[in-house]
Every structure is written in C-alpha cells, then in structure tokens.
C-alpha cells in the first residue's frame, strides 16, 4: 500500500513578497526560494513546498492555520518574545509542561502556530 505524504501547502496572499518576508524573517521558514509569475515557492529541507501566490485570501479563515514546530518549549518562548518585539499580532498562547504554543496572524490574516508538543517531539 502506498502511503501519501503531505508535499505542499499553498496560500492566496495579497502581496507575495511581503508574505515571503514574513514567513522567512519572522516565522523562520527555511528552504530554497523560487520566484514564479504568480508569487513564490519555498521548498523546505524536508521537501515540502510552501507556495505564496498572488490572490485574495478567503474571508473568515476559521480554525485553518499553518504550523511550524520548534525543538522545545523554551524555543517557542524565545520566538514569542521576538514576534512580540516585531509587533506581530498574537491571537493565542499556551504554556504547559508538555505543550507550548502560540498563534499569530500573518499579513493576510491567516493564523500561524509556532509550537512544541512533547508527544510529537521525537516524530
């Protein structure tokens, strides 16, 4: 049986260059960047492509969010201080013994989770 693996995420954004700067500089998404006529594609070291294409984001994102995992709870706390210093709007914060997570808004209003979960730390 072939098991599918998640290989890409694509977001409609108003200004792909602004979103690229946010995800690379503020959130820390790493990878090779390719510019296309419609926007930018980041290919992460894990081989996932993250596309930021010129378009109109949907109204009311609901519970949809993009998430990045960090190495431990302290790394999330440090990232929180950095994002707060950069005036990135925070919408949620959890700090528990085995789970540390924050959600912020990107420039188009999408929720972005930065977190660490001990249950998934070795995965």
- Domain span holding position 13: 7-54
Q: Does 70 lie in the same domain as 50? A: no
Q: Does 87 lie in the same domain as 47? A: no
Which residue, among 72, 48, 65, has the nearest Cα to 121 in the 3D structure?
72
Tokens of 28: 């820390």
CA distance 108 to 106: 5
Q: Nearest 5°: CA angle at 64, between 105 and 93?
A: 50
CATH number for the domain including 108?
3.10.180.10
The reported pTM is 0.85
CA distance 82 to 85: 5
Q: Is residue 75 part of a domain?
A: yes
Which residue, among 71, 76, 31, has the nearest Cα to 52 in the 3D structure?
31
Q: Does 119 lie in the same domain as 78? A: yes
Tens place of pLDDT for every residue, the chain, 123 residues?
776 777 899 999 999 999 999 999 999 999 999 999 999 999 999 999 999 999 999 887 677 888 999 999 999 999 999 999 999 999 999 999 999 999 999 999 999 999 999 887 654
Q: Does 16 lie in the same domain as 49? A: yes
């Amino acid at each position: 049986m072939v098991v599918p693996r998640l290989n890409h995420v694509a977001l409609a954004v108003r200004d792909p260059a602004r979103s690229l700067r946010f995800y690379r500089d503020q959130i820390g998404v790493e990878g090779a960047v390719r510019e296309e006529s419609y926007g930018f594609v980041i290919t992460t070291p894990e081989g996932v492509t993250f596309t930021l294409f010129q378009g109109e984001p949907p109204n009311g994102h609901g519970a949809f969010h993009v998430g990045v995992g960090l190495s431990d709870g302290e790394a999330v706390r440090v990232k929180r201080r950095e994002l707060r210093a950069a005036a990135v709007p925070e919408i949620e914060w959890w700090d528990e013994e085995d789970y540390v997570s924050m959600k912020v808004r990107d420039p188009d209003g999408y929720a972005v989770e930065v977190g660490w979960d001990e249950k998934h730390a070795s995965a």
